[in-house]
Amino acid sequence: MTTSINVDKRSVKQLLETGKNKRFIIPEYQRPYTWSDEQIQVLFDDLTEYTLNTTEDENNTYFLGTIVSYENDNKEQEIIDGQQRITSLFLLLRAIYTKLESGGPETNFLKSQIEPTIWKQNPTTGVVNFNEILISSRVMGEEGNQEFANILVSGKADEKSNSNYAKNYRLLQQLVNEYAADNPLSFYNFISNILNQAILLPITADSQETALTIFSTLNDRGLALSDADIFKAKIYNHLNSDEKKRIYRTLARTR
């Protein structure tokens, strides 16, 4: 059977905005969000260094990596590879938006640029629904799924929580606040660069099987799925909900 893929270089803003029509889904079979503070620091440092070394007149871009996905039966973008990266970008943009909320009218334009990358907007009026986010994590056994959603909605992380979502969001808030204080003249340019000059390479497959094949051939810098994860993905489409839960529990005990 003939398979097809679509590869289209996009800025962070261009890619995340596609979630308003086809929501991003981190599926049940994916592993939990495991990026550490070190990986968050590297991402932030790379973006700030890019900003400090690039003038407004230059049109250089910064490559963030690939995102492999396919459109599932519910017309959602199901993430096969790159979920750690895309999750961290959502947290970063929410931390920036939270910082901008404390600013004056001069921040309104940048806030309006970030809003459609995180939340649903009415296509006619442009009114933002801050309770409806463009990404959902459904990782089985991951208690932080709802916490991730709550952070994106509220802009706050539970100070007592030790989940990676909460810890990384608190770190990003600290890094954003420090950068804004130390580099007030380039802070807005930093935000614009993340939205428009930081580039992702989305690879969209026509099926889960094709997406998994693409994933297995990529030498990704992120945290790779194990053979067991890929096995779970391949069998999930052929199981009902109860069977999925039973298989997950069995595999979880062997990891």
Both structure tokens of 2: 């003939």
Kindly tell me the burial class for residue 77, based on how many C-beta atoms sit within 10 Å of its own C-beta (0-12, 13-18, 19 or more): buried
Residue 62: pLDDT over 70? yes
- Candidates 195, 201, 146, 153; CA nearest to 33 is 146
- Candidates 107, 22, 79, 51; CA nearest to 211 is 79
- Candidates 53, 5, 180, 158; CA nearest to 110 is 180
Given the DSSP bridges, would you call strands 5-7 and 24-26 parallel, antiparallel or unpaired?
unpaired
Output the average pLDDT for the chain.
85
User: What is the rounded CA–CA span in Å between residue 92 and residue 94?
Assistant: 5
What is the model's pLDDT at position 157? 96
Residue-wise pLDDT for 10-44, tens only, equals 999 999 999 999 999 999 888 889 999 999 999 99
Helix axes 83-101, 184-196, angle to 10 degrees: 140
- Burial state string for 36-69 with b = 16 or more CB within 10 A and e = fewer than 16: eeebbeebbeebbebbeebeeeeeeebebbbbbb
What is the model's pLDDT at position 69? 92
Residue 140: pLDDT over 90? no
> Cα-flanking dihedrals φ and ψ of residue 122, to 5°?
-65, 120
- Cβ distance 118 to 16 under 8 Å? yes
% of the chain residues with pLDDT over 70: 80
Residue 138: pLDDT over 50? yes
For 70-79, 90-99, 185-194, 222-231, which range has the lowest pLDDT when averaged over its residues? 222-231
What is the model's pLDDT at position 240? 54
% of the chain residues with pLDDT over 90: 66
What is the model's pLDDT at position 235? 55
Residue 69's DSSP bridge partners are 79, 204
Q: Would the CA dihedral through 223, 71, 250, 34 be positive or negative?
A: positive
What confidence tier does 60 reach under pLDDT thresholds 50, 70, 90? Answer: confident
For 100-109, 121-130, 211-220, 227-236, which range has the lowest pLDDT when averaged over its residues? 227-236
Question: What mean pLDDT is predicted for residues 159-176?
Answer: 96
Residue-wise pLDDT for 173-226, tens only, equals 999 999 999 999 899 999 999 999 999 999 988 888 777 777 766 644 444 555
Residue ranges in the chain assigned as alpha helix (H): 12-17, 37-52, 83-101, 108-118, 144-154, 164-182, 184-196, 208-217, 227-236, 241-254
What confidence tier does 119 reach under pLDDT thresholds 50, 70, 90? Answer: very high
Instruction: Kindly state the helix (H) or strand (E) to which residue 199 belongs, with its residue range.
Output: strand 198-205
Q: Would the CA dihedral through 133, 158, 88, 62 be positive or negative?
A: positive
